Structure 1
Amino acid sequence: MKNSYTCLVVGAGPSGTAAAYTFAKNGIDVCIVDKAIFPREKLCGGGLTGRTKNSFLDIFDSNWEDMFEYSANSALFYYKGQRINMIEDYGELYFCNRIKFDNRLLDLAISRGVDVVFGERVEVIDTESKVCKLASGRQIRYRYLIGADGVNSVVARQVVSRKFNRNRYAYALQVEIKKEDYGKTELTRPELYFGDINKGYGWVFPKRNSYTVGMCSQYSKTVDIRKKLMEFFAARNCAPYKGRLTGHYIPFGNYAERVVENDVILVGDAAGLVDPVTGEGVAYAIESGYYAAEAVIAAISGKNCNIDTEYKSKYYTAISQEFARANLLQQAIYSRYTQAIVMHALSRSKTMPYHYMDLLSGDSNYKDFISIIQNKAKKLIFKGR
């Protein structure tokens, strides 16, 4: 294996594999470095949206049906334990095992000729000499580097001084339980819960042979999310959970504005790209990885451009501009002063859940969605309800 590449990708999740696949597809030599050995465990509810599907089909030459294990065409919405609305016949809800999903993406990248280095942790990135130094002592030279190494990104810390501050993140806990061990009747559609935890939400997602039950909220030393999840699970299952809990930090509206420096680009969770309202992260990971690769390819091709301008133009129009609007809505949904109004508007509207799903699928944007919520809320307030 070589020790010098045109493009080096740190992190083999969806953003890293999307970037590497795009490089290799365009004949550019590329290597992925990841501290894990794949297949590796990945904590995630496993929900995939229509936007994820569209992003996948736009980038990878593969069959979407191979990427998920369960699909549903309806969903239920709850507020403080009471069902307030539902959608039916939507047809764009998919659920995967993230271990298999991520490994499948990596296999696709490898099949395109991407080199991989597994089980190697990045120690230092020397942007002056353009050398990535691994814990083993190995050094890999690069011309361009993509930082796709997650929320606690080594690349972000060393290159753009984006330090990990848990107070700016959400913390999620979840359990995976076999269907036969779940006390309720069989669930065939996802359930989304609001109001059970401050500044957060809960979920129950069906899979082929199991359910994922989880909860997340903005990190706080005063919130015992483990206790909250146990209460949430017991209320759903009518029995306590006695197994293993898994937890992880996720971005919660703290997306990066500084994403390009010294021929290094941040993508996916390393750039904080998880929707602060819907929790969508996989689609934005894939898209940002692709945009980063396209920016580098444009620069390599000899066009009169640089990766900073190329990447930021897509990053702003397709991602960060939407996230800025999403942060405004996040305050309304999770604030104790306005959450009840938003949830009441959701409960009284037949179309609101579908607008929400259109947002998830990428068929609408936050500008339109916020306008719809504002109009619904105004009608309720003026009617005195």
Structure 2
Amino acid sequence: MTDDKRYDAVIAGAGPAGSAAAYVLARAGARVMVLDRASFPRDKLCAGLLTWKTTDLVERIYGMGPQALLARGVIEHRADRYRIRHKGMTLACSDLFHPFYFVSRRVIDAWFLDRAREAGAEFRSGEVVTAADATRGEVVTESGDRYQGRFLIGADGAASVVRRAFPLPRAAFAANMGMGLECQVRRDDPDITAAHPDLRENYPTVYSGFVRTGYGWVFPHGAHAVVGLGGLASRKGASMRREFAAFLDFLRLPRRFLGCCKAHLLPYGNFLTHPVHQQALLAGDAAGLVETLFGEGLYYALRSGELAALAVLSGLSGKDACEGYLSGLRQDIYPELSGSLRLRQAIFFSLRFGPLPLWCLLRLGGERLVEMAHGVRSYRWLRRRAAGPGRAG
């Protein structure tokens, strides 16, 4: 292998996890190569909601807060209210102490990658990784090229190729792999006038009752709304499609939207507790690092990418990168994922008896539950974990 294909770190995947890792590494002076099968900007299915903890992390890493991102068009919508329904019954509807922001993954993922490239990371688009060697820190692409790093970061999504190089039972990871289906509804679509009024609101609505373990959503994105359904409906995608069709019927949307919906894998409780092996680390969806109640992934992708980069930097200086990465995950990520999983199990079990238990939880929890979603409080017993943004929003 020629020296021009040897790096301090090779990163498979240029989504938020891979780009955050590349940015942190390149800014510290490491030689980094990022590989992705796609050319950017590219479309990516995602509801696109940013909580306070996500915008706070973006500001800390990149030095740019939500107002600056709004001005640059990276954030496309701000919402100051939220609603939770069980089918047609409103369980909660209130103002937010801090806004939810909404983004297009096509736009924000390209923005993250641009920051990494500006910091000095190299990027190759159209490179489909077909095999990985965790011991050598090496990947092989469809074109036959080999790229080797002192460390390899697998940030290549839920169907990760790098993960296959790990001694992991594939069935265990697949057991809690969920599915999401989404479509977009333009605000000027003539069919929206007869549709459910939630589609015309400027704030998000989350729905229970349409899938046994999961939820539906209508999220505003400026000129359009994203309508989706995700969770562990069954082992068969056809069942989820039927449930999405029922959700569209509830929203009084014509079936043509079912024909244009797209599906994606959704890690939903299958996070890996040991996503390291030899010279390789897994980040983001590749490690299943997605919050297990609402399916929030952007924060955990960015944060795990940052933690992987910091671990690699310590490894380049002679320390144990794998243990450093695991230490960071145990401190900041695993407690939230395990706590949200326990809460999810309790909520969806209680919904078998109707919406009353969830209504009671929302009434008793009040704003503390919203603080939990934003990351101000922990999913573990609602303990405060951050000072938060204050009431100014």
TM-score with structure 2 length normalisation? 0.88
Out of 86, 92, 106, the position equivalent to 1:85 is 92
Aligned to 2:247: 232
The CA distance in 1 between the partners of 2:209 and 2:12, in whole Å, is 38
Counterpart in the other structure of 2:133: 126
SS class of match (1:230)? helix
Q: How does 1:1-385 map to 2 (within 5 A)?
A: 2-64=4-66, 65=69, 66=72, 67-161=74-168, 163=170, 166-181=174-189, 182=192, 183-185=195-197, 186-221=200-235, 224-237=239-252, 239-242=254-257, 243-302=259-318, 305-335=319-349, 336-337=351-352, 340=355, 342-346=357-361, 348-349=363-364, 352-369=365-382
Tell me which moved more, 327-336 or 109-118. 327-336
- Partners of 1:338 and 1:83 in 2: how far apart? 17
The CA deviation at 1:219 is 4.6
Bigger Cα displacement from structure 2, 205-214 vs 306-315: 306-315
Counterpart of 1:378 in structure 2 is: none
In the alignment, structure 1 segments of 5+ residues that lack a partner are 372-385
Identity %: 30
Match in the other structure for 1:377? none
Measure, in 1, the Cα distance between the counterparts of 2:362 and 2:151: 49
Distance 1:317 1:63, change over 3 A: closer
Name the CA distance, whole Å, in 1 between partners of 2:169 and 2:373: 28
How far apart are the structure 2 equivalents of 1:83 and 1:256? 35
Helix, strand or coil at the partner of 1:229: helix
Structure 1 residues 204 and 125: alpha-carbon distance in aligned structure 2, compared to 1, 3 A threshold? same
Matched AA of 2:95: E
Aligned equivalents of 1:353 and 1:233: distance in 2? Answer: 29
SS in 2 for 1:88: strand
| Inter-partner Cα distance in structure 1 for 2:383 and 2:313 | 36
Q: CA deviation at 1:87?
A: 2.2
Which letter maps to 1:2?
Answer: D
* CA gap 1:279/1:202 in 2 versus in 1, 3 angstroms: same
Q: How far apart, in 2, do the equivalents of 1:148 and 1:209 lie?
A: 31
Q: Which runs of 4+ in 1 moved over 6 A?
A: none
Aligned-partner Cα distance in 2 for 1:342–1:27: 53
CA–CA distance in 2 between the matches of 1:74 and 1:172? Answer: 24
1:173 alignment partner AA: L
The count of aligned residue pairs is: 367
